[in-house]
Structure 1
Amino acid sequence: MTILSGIRVLDCSIAMAGPFCGQRLGDMGADVIKIEPTTGEWQRHVSAGGLKGKRINVSFLSLNRNKRSLAVDLKSSDGRAAVHELVKQSDVFLQNYRPGVARRLGLDYETLVALNPRLVYLSLSGYGESGPYVDRPGQDLLLQGMSGAMLSAGRAGEPPLAAGQFLVDAISAYTAFEGILAALFHRERTGEGQKVEVNMLDAITTLQMQEISVHTIGGKPQELSAEPHAHVYIRAPYGSFETADGYIIVAFPPLEKFGELIGEPAFKGLQDETAGWTERDMIFAKTRERLKTRSSAEWLALFRANDIWAGPVYGYADLVEDPQIAHNGTFIEYDHPSEGRIKAPGFPIRFSATPCSVRRGAPLAGEHSREILHEFGFDDAQIDALLASGAINAGEAP
């Protein structure tokens, strides 16, 4: 048994944020039914890195484990009616359609709550369900640009740099996941479902609670300088620095002690919380030049021995082989029917009594259509009629 065993989730989401949220629910034991078009969800047909896989591309594979697939034409009356039957017996409905689409499909909150008052309905959008940006595409990089975060690191006068991961999608997924769990807890107390709204713009804005408060409360602007500091609101030295054989991170060490260790006399007598700001570029530049003289391993050994905050800069190949990662069991491996042996990031939350597990890999489009509809009370004749009309696709099991 896992912690969300017995919870049924209808996941109508696409791309990353919604499916990632659904996968987290599935990892914790929920029965997540991915409702997708008969031709398969959009993410099946595009892939990060262009990796297509054998029958399922890497992007879809990474975001849809522990789900079953019901491939249904929601534009057909038969298809919508079938999904409405599922709603009556489900706990959570998750969608990230553009505002207005759910209503056109008959999958809006008002329609579904009339069918099931206990339903937790999660609506995930780019900018909110109303307002001046309601029709804009909620794409990760566009929202990174709006978030303000891209002007908190780097050099003045150079193009802003995006995060090295799909940051807005990921934090939006976790915000939606949190909202669903809270609403389920409320339902346990009261018996009432409710609508939960999450938008990506608010998610990435509230993630920056500390940084934005420095601006709104303290009145301190984002002031980039000549050197590529890792954050405008952290004193120097703070960032990645080249060594004789790679790069390391150094995070705001005590300046005088740090100067002694790297052999930089200019840091003698500097006060951390004054010079660390007023002499930020000088400190960064001199640190950069000194650290080029020795290897990463030499510097890191010296800094760790002297309680200086420093660490390596990894690529994914390094991360996967890290001993702490191995100790934590961060990556999981399992066999997928069509894609073979899978190694992927696992479960960031550990429960002593109800551990997460991989019960199934990402499904083929419609792989479980017959199975799901049988469970919800459809007989063979009804399912055959839906197949014949094109309202559903039963897929092809691997």
Structure 2
Amino acid sequence: MRLCVPRAGDPATATAPVAVEVAAHLLGLVGDPATATVAWDIDWQGPLSVPLTDEHAVQAACGIMHVHGRAAGRPAPLAVDYASTVAGVLAAQGVCAALLARAGGADVTRVRTSVGQAALLALAQYLAAATADGDDPEGCPPSRADAGQELVPAACSFVSADGVCFELEALDAERWLDFWRLLGVDRADTGRGWRSFQQRFATATCALPPVLSATVRRASFTAVRSAADRAGATVLPVRQDPLPPTVTPPWTLTPFPEPGGTTIDRDGTAAAPLEGLRVVESARRVQGPLAGHVLRLLGADVVRIEPPGGDPMRGVPPMAGTTSARFSALNAGKAVTEIDFTTDAGRRAVRDLVSEADVFLHNWAPGKAVRLGLDADDLRAARPGLVYAWASGWGDALGPEPPVGTDYLVQAHSGLAAAVRPADEPPAPSLMTLTDVLGGLVCAQGVLAALLTRLHTGRGARVDSSLFSAAVLVPRGPGRPAATGRPLHTRDGYIALGPRARQRPERLAPALGLAASASADAIASRARTRPTAHWLPRLAAAGVAVTPVCTSLADLARDPRFAPALTVGEYAAPLAPWEFS
């Protein structure tokens, strides 16, 4: 491994240690000694004109605290190095892409990314929604049915009468309604909560009628699980231990026995490292589409398969022109073809597409590919040398018939839900889609690793990754993180404290005009007496590092300091987060 060494004493280029650790781990799994010939660098801010010196500052300035804290009504840090983990995956992707570019004749020796750019990419859906036309783009406006009704923001999972904290998933309204009916809740109350529950993946908020949490607090977890099983919903306990129950590799690569393509058809002057590669994608929501999006940002030609009439997610507000902003954030720039998989003609059309592709990726439910006759063994016959990637929910972590694998259920079972919360809060998944995003990135990295392997062996491969394997990648230690690091509320916003101020609050109090012995409550009360702009120069003069917390992604998109990492049109979108040279 060869790193670009930052200039001594320059915090803007100081290497992010967790990101470096993640990148080195992933590159080690690639198993290609040529990765050592590509220099790579991960700094904190990249092209952003924002002083970022640690994970906490990145989460504050780039909007992660804002989105993660929406459900609770105030910015809150993730108690794990999430942005740094994303940056580590991006760096590994950049190295692999550089080697693939070299195989096509490009002269690429160096790649650079940053934790700040990683944070923006992780928030791409939320950023698009916040900058598109529509009502209340930063949250989930109440529907007509909700108007005038009491709905309570839900930042934590449900708790049963016997003290089991659990996460619930119902993929359609009937399962949701049946689950609560079986527990004795009036249908009108249940119906008022459905829209917010359904859209929590998109909005990172979830306001529910208080009768729902009250009902499960009177029921045993056995009764709750029985109701879920009968309704076709899924419940899983939230692990109290932040460590995952099993050690799972981010992806597994199973080579195909027969030889296939080994060359990359590209012009040596191509601008992007994956130019000349073709990807066929059949995926919905976030995980699969994001994998395809990343490969497209790296230059691949991505063809997206959608059902007749198009993906229903295209019409979900807020809209950017004629298409959902959130959908466009992950799918813009992809070619689209509509195919009905249920027909023989449709399945033949898929095989025809794949016969000219390098990669086929999907995030279908377990067993669907086999039922359709479109599994790896079926499609590799159409394209020797194919890289076949399945981005699942659980992989094989929970056996051959796992529960439905969605972001919050995976957070709950993997221990990530406990790791992201401080010790004075109950474990609960973040409503920011942490594993959906990381799962898509890990899938893309697995694809790149398989393409590199194909260069050397002449054989394609099956690549399996999952939301669970992505969640396990996030570094975390035993025990719950301490209840430190919450932003300080000023009169008009929030400021995130630097590491020294978090560790030694006695340095903060004098800068606010208080005695060094002032209590935490006194410090909080004092901070709220003045706006952020009043405190910033005083804190800087006292040597107390702070970062203003982003509380509006729309404002962030208009901030010229972020312009080098964003493109702004009908909505704001992160630019490709790599620099190749």
Alignment TM-score > 0.5, same fold: yes
Q: CA deviation at 1:299?
A: 1.9
Pair 1:288-2:524 in alignment: yes
Q: Distance in 1 between matches of 2:300 and 2:347?
A: 23
Task: Tell me which residue corresponds to 2:488.
Answer: 241
Q: Deviations over 1:65-124 (max 9, x none)?
A: 121111111111111112212222210010100110011111111212233231111110
Please name the residue that 2:318 is paired with. 51
Residue 379 (structure 1) aligns with: none
d(CA) in 2 for partners of 1:29, 1:114:
26
Distance 1:305 1:321, change over 3 A: farther
Q: Which has the larger radius of gyration?
A: 1
* Alpha-carbon distance change, 257 to 41 in structure 1, aligned in 2, over 3 angstroms: same
Q: 1:233: Cα distance to partner?
A: 4.0
Aligned 8 A contact 1:16 1:63 in 2: yes
Secondary structure of 1:78 counterpart = helix
Q: Does 1:256 align with 2:526?
A: no
Are residue 14 (structure 1) and residue 243 (structure 2) matched? no
Whole-Å Cα distance in 2 between the matches of residues 307 and 122 of structure 1?
50
What is the TM-score when the length of structure 1 is the normalising length? 0.70
Cα distance in 1, alignment partners of residues 287 and 340 from structure 2:
22
Aligned counterparts of 2:505 and 2:515: Cα–Cα separation in 1: 10
Structure 1 residues 184, 267: CA separation in 2 closer, same or farther (over 3 Å shift)?
farther
Greater alpha carbon shift after TM alignment, 141-150 vs 292-301: 141-150
> Alpha-carbon deviations, 1:137-191, whole Å to 9, x = none?
2222333333434334667776656536322111111111111111111112222
Aligned identity (percent) is 33
What do you get for the CA RMSD once the two structures are aligned?
2.5
Q: What is the distance in 2 between the residues matched to 1:70 and 1:300?
A: 52
Distance in 2, Cα, partners of 1:82 & 1:242: 57
Looking at structure 1, the residues matched to 555 and 571 of structure 2 have their Cα atoms a distance apart, in angstroms, of 18
Counterpart-to-counterpart distance in 2, 1:163 and 1:307: 33
**Secondary structure of 1:114 counterpart:** coil
Structure 1 partner of 2:43: none
- Residue of structure 1 equivalent to 2:50: none
The one-character-per-residue Cα deviations of 1:274-295 (angstroms, maximum 9, x if unpaired) are: xxxxxxxx64x34322322332
State which of 186, 191, 194 in structure 1 corresponds to 2:461: 194
When residues 107 and 320 of structure 1 are mapped into structure 2, their CA distance, relative to the original with a 3 A threshold, is same
Shift in Å, 1:132: 4.0
How many residues matched?
307
Asked if 2 retains the 8 angstrom alpha-carbon contact of 1:239 and 1:251, the reply is: no
Match of 2:372 among 105, 117, 125: 105
Q: Is 1:75 paired with 2:342?
A: yes
Equivalent residue letter for 1:323: P
Query: Where does residue 391 of structure 2 map in the other structure?
Result: 124
Structure 2 unaligned spans of 5+: 1-269
Contact 2:304/2:335 (CA < 8 Å) preserved in 1?
A: yes
Q: CA distance change for structure 1 residues 259 and 342 in 2, over 3 Å: closer, same or farther? A: closer
Matched residue, 1:348: 577
Where 1:74 maps in the other structure, the secondary structure is coil
Query: 2:420·2:430 contact (CA, 8 Å) conserved in 1?
Result: no
What's the secondary structure of 1:287's corresponding residue? helix
In the TM superposition, what is the alpha-carbon distance from 1:318 to its structure 2 partner? 2.4
In the other structure, the counterpart of 1:34 is: 304
Indicate conservation of the 8 Å contact 1:15/1:42, yes or no: no
Q: Does 1:330 pair with 2:565?
A: yes
Tell me the CA shift for residue 264 of structure 1: 4.0
Return the match for 2:548 from 312, 317, 333.
Answer: 312
Q: Is the 8 A contact 1:121 1:195 kept in 2?
A: yes
Letter in 2 for 1:73: D
Tell me if the contact between 1:128 and 1:134 (Cα under 8 Å) persists in the aligned partners.
no
Cα distance between partner residues in 2 of 1:110 and 1:140? 28
Partner of 2:255: none
Q: Map of 1:373-392 to 2, 5 A cutoff?
A: none
